[in-house]
C-alpha cells in the first residue's frame, strides 16, 4: 500500500488540525467539514479499509470507538452524533487508510442512515 495522506499527517510531514493523539490513533478536524463537528479518528496502523481489519485488530477497533465516545463528550455532542465508516470507493471512501467520521451539530433525519 502506498503511503496515504493520513500516514503523512500521522508522521507530521503534512499539517492537520489535530485535536487528539495517543499511542494508537489521532483525531483531526476534517478539511472539508460536512457538519459543524466533523472529526476523523484515524488509527496509526495503516489499515486500508474496515473490511481488511483482522482479529489482531480487535482491541484497536474497540479503542477507536472509545475515543469517539470520549471526543463526543469533550466536544459537547455526546447526545447526538453519528459515526460513519466509508468502506471502498463504491461507498464513497476516498482516502484508503481506515478512519471514522464523527459528525455532529446538524439536524439528522431520524429515519435516514445518511
Ligand atoms: P472518506 O471519503 O475516505 O471516507 O473520507 C476522507 C475524508 O478525509 C474526507 O471527508 C476529506 O474531506 C478528508 N480529507 C482528505 N484529505 C484531507 C487532509 O489533507 N486533511 C484533512 N484534515 N482531511 C482530509
Residue 94 CA to ligand 1 center (angstroms) comes to 7
Supply the pLDDT for residue 2.
72
Residue indicated by cell numbers 496502523: 45
Supply the pLDDT for residue 1.
55
Is the beta carbon of 32 within 6 A of some atom in ligand 1? yes
Residue 99 CA to ligand 1 center (angstroms) comes to 9
In a domain, 9, yes or no: yes
Is the beta carbon of 84 within 6 A of some atom in ligand 1? no
Q: Which residues are catalytic?
A: 99
Is the pTM of the predicted complex or chain greater than 0.95? yes
Give the three cell numbers for residue 22: 495517543
Is the beta carbon of 94 within 6 A of some atom in ligand 1? yes
Is the beta carbon of 48 within 6 A of some atom in ligand 1? no
In a domain, 112, yes or no: no
In a domain, 113, yes or no: no
In a domain, 91, yes or no: yes
Write the CATH number for 48.
3.30.428.10
Report the largest interatomic distance among the alpha carbons of the chain, rounded to a whole angstrom: 41
**Based on the structure, what is the number of domains in the chain?**
1
pLDDT per residue of the chain (114 residues) written in tens, 0 to 9:
578 999 999 999 999 999 999 999 999 999 999 999 999 999 999 999 999 999 999 999 999 999 999 999 999 999 999 999 999 999 999 999 999 999 999 888 877 776
Nearest atom of ligand 1 to the alpha carbon of 84? 4
What residue numbers bound the domain in which 24 lies?
A: 5-104
In a domain, 12, yes or no: yes
Which residues does 96 contact at the CB level (< 8 Å), separation at least 6?
1, 4, 48, 49
In a domain, 59, yes or no: yes
In a domain, 110, yes or no: no
In a domain, 21, yes or no: yes
Chain-centre distance of CA 56, in angstroms? 19
**H or E segment at 52?**
none
Amino acid at each position: 500500500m502506498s503511503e496515504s495522506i493520513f500516514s503523512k499527517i500521522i508522521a507530521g510531514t503534512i499539517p492537520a488540525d489535530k485535536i487528539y493523539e495517543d499511542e494508537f490513533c489521532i483525531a483531526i478536524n476534517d478539511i472539508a467539514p460536512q457538519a459543524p463537528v466533523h472529526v476523523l479518528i484515524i488509527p496509526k496502523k495503516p489499515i486500508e479499509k474496515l473490511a481488511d481489519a483482522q482479529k489482531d485488530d480487535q482491541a484497536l477497533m474497540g479503542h477507536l470507538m472509545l475515543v469517539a465516545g470520549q471526543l463526543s463528550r469533550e466536544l459537547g455532542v455526546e447526545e447526538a452524533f453519528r459515526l460513519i465508516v466509508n468502506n471502498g470507493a463504491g461507498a464513497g471512501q476516498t482516502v484508503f487508510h481506515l478512519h471514522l467520521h464523527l459528525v455532529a451539530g446538524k439536524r439528522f433525519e431520524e429515519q435516514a442512515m445518511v
